[in-house]
Homo-oligomer: A and B are copies of this chain.
Amino acid sequence: MDTLTAEQIAERIWLSIAERRLRPGMRLKETELAEVFGTSRARVRQVLGMLEREGLVTIEVNKGAFVAEPSVEDARDIFHIRRAVEGRVLERLVDRLDKKKIETIRRHVEKERIANADNDQRQIIKLSGGFHQMLAEMAEAEFLSVLMRDLISRSSLITAAFRDSAKYNCGPDEHEEILNHLRDGDPEKAQEAMRHHLEHVEKELRLAAGRDTPRSLKDLLS
């Protein structure tokens, strides 16, 4: 892979943020990124624009790009909206799922299980988001896919920022439970399982008092 596309670079940065290698507030210099990915500054700027739109970085004019620093309120809002959107997705899914799609999802969950067994963090993160993205795409509403992509990005950042352990331990069991209810054609239970899943993820965040992401040195030293 010689020349990376903007999307590929964006994914790499997203993964670095989700893996907590890039922490909220960190500076993202254009020339550095360009060197790292062996590309031009122009492309890096394009990528940073995409990431800003997805809420992963903030860009200050004439200052530069930084990994975004979501607030506790942001975290709550995102999960709140996400519960609503995932609900709509499942609503739409019941009419649209056939054996073939169920099988596709099943294979995906299987991959998640393997990645978990291997403790392959990068794959775990990618596949975990991919599960929800796949459901949104099967709902066959263009905008829901776009929206879900956005929500997954922001959720990844929030998880990285507020989670206690470095481990991304949202195992595939809950995904499989949702899948099983979908297979059984039981939308209510699928909805319930999804709600439970999202609440579980949110509960594991430290949203109470201590925040992980000092906004500035001032906050850090006060």
Contacts and interface: CB of A to CB of B under 8 A. Distances in A.
Interface in A68-109: 73-74, 77-78, 80-81, 84-85, 88
A80 to B, nearest CB: 8
A90 to B, nearest CB: 13
Most buried by B among A53, A73, A74: A53
Contact of A143 (B77, B88, B143, B146): B77
Contacts of A140: 73
A81 B88 CA distance: 8
Instruction: Count identical subunits in the complex.
Output: 2
B147 A147 contact: yes
A183 interface: no
Interface residues of A, number: 21
B143 A55 contact: yes
A142 interface: yes
A77 B77 CA distance: 22
Given A84-B84, A88-B84, A77 B144 contact: yes
A133 B46 CA distance: 27
25 contacts: A46-B49, A49-B49, A53-B53, A55-B143, A55-B146, A73-B140, A73-B141, A74-B142, A74-B143, A77-B141, A77-B142, A77-B143, A77-B144, A78-B143, A80-B88, A80-B141, A81-B85, A81-B141, A81-B143, A81-B144, A81-B147, A84-B84, A84-B88, A143-B154, A147-B147
Interface of A: 46, 49, 53, 55, 73-74, 77-78, 80-81, 84-85, 88, 140-144, 146-147, 154
